[in-house]
Amino acid sequence: MIEVKGLQKSFDDEHILRGIDFVFETGKTNLIIGQSGSGKSVLMKCMLGLFTPDEGIIEYDGKPYSSFSDEQKRGLRQEMGMLFQGGALFDSMTVQENVMFPLRMFTKKKKRDLKDRVDEVLERVNLADSGKKYPSEISGGMQKRVAIARAIVNRPKYLFCDEPNSGLDPRTATVIDNLIHELTVEYDITTVVITHDMNSVLEIGENIAFLKDGVLAWKGDKSKVFKTDDKTVTDFVYSSDLFKKVRDAQQQGL
């Protein structure tokens, strides 16, 4: 669980996060949604320890970051997996080598053990046969699965995903969403996903933080986000033509 309390962050005179309170729950896919520039990435970077908040507290499983020693901060970093936008695989490395990379950085285990762990996660994301291939030799959806394998290879307690579906067709995007959700439940991870994709909200929106201008404007889950009367939320949700048409059709009883 990650809890943020009264989180504030400014850059120069620009007040970006204006006092966010939210609990990102363990074993759930926690989504951060909101318009471009609303502060989603800044919030995630604060939780990743990449930005220092000006005010407020971030607690990791009940322990405030400010109370962590340097060694504990290093330990916390090892407990974090990150799935970057676009996958960010190393083109010159094979699939196996890409997944091995964070293991090499953080563990001193024997090569045989590292290889076993890599095989295990590649098997889990259904890529057991692709270990020797290079990223350019596999599809975009497979590349995303490699990136997921790399993000979970160190058995993270916290998984951060920045727009995991960008650039994927809707069907593949759903496969990726479901894989992230399955792993979250299976390994009891606190997963935080930034998304613009309303299909993802429908699929895996178990706990949603909706940001507007650096404020938590709404929170809830997928069963509520399409039913709320809150105009700030409906303006955002139905800004997609498709969802607007579906709502209009429902209202007309079609």
Ligand X SMILES: Nc1ncnc2c1ncn2[C@@H]1O[C@H](COP(=O)(O)OP(=O)(O)OP(=O)(O)O)[C@@H](O)[C@H]1O
Binding site for ligand X (CB under 6 A): 11, 16, 34, 36-42
| Strand ranges across the sheet with 2-11 | 14-24, 2-11, 55-60, 63-64
- The residue (of 98 and 200) whose beta carbon lies closer to ligand X is 200
Minimum Å gap between C-beta 12 and ligand X is 7
- The residue (of 17 and 100) whose beta carbon lies closer to ligand X is 17
DSSP letter string over 201-246? HHHH-SEEEEEETTEEEEEE-HHHHTT---HHHHHHHTTSHHHHHH
Minimum Å gap between C-beta 43 and ligand X is 7
- The residue (of 157 and 177) whose beta carbon lies closer to ligand X is 177
- The residue (of 156 and 214) whose beta carbon lies closer to ligand X is 214
- Tokens 């509520």 belong to residue: 224
* Number of Cα atoms under 13 Å in the Cβ half of residue 243: 17
Minimum Å gap between C-beta 39 and ligand X is 4
- The residue (of 138 and 215) whose beta carbon lies closer to ligand X is 215
Minimum Å gap between C-beta 165 and ligand X is 13
- The residue (of 37 and 64) whose beta carbon lies closer to ligand X is 37
Residues facing 57 on adjacent strands: 5
> Which two tokens mark 35?
């318009």
Which residues, at least 6 apart from 142, have a Cβ–Cβ distance to it below 8 Å?
A: 127, 130
- Tokens 């994709």 belong to residue: 197
Closest CA to 160 of 138, 175, 145, 180: 180
Minimum Å gap between C-beta 238 and ligand X is 18
Minimum Å gap between C-beta 60 and ligand X is 21
Cα 121 to Cα 88, 172, 215, 239: the distances in Å are 18, 19, 37, 38
Closest CA to 195 of 173, 171, 220, 217: 173
Minimum Å gap between C-beta 116 and ligand X is 37
- The residue (of 60 and 210) whose beta carbon lies closer to ligand X is 210
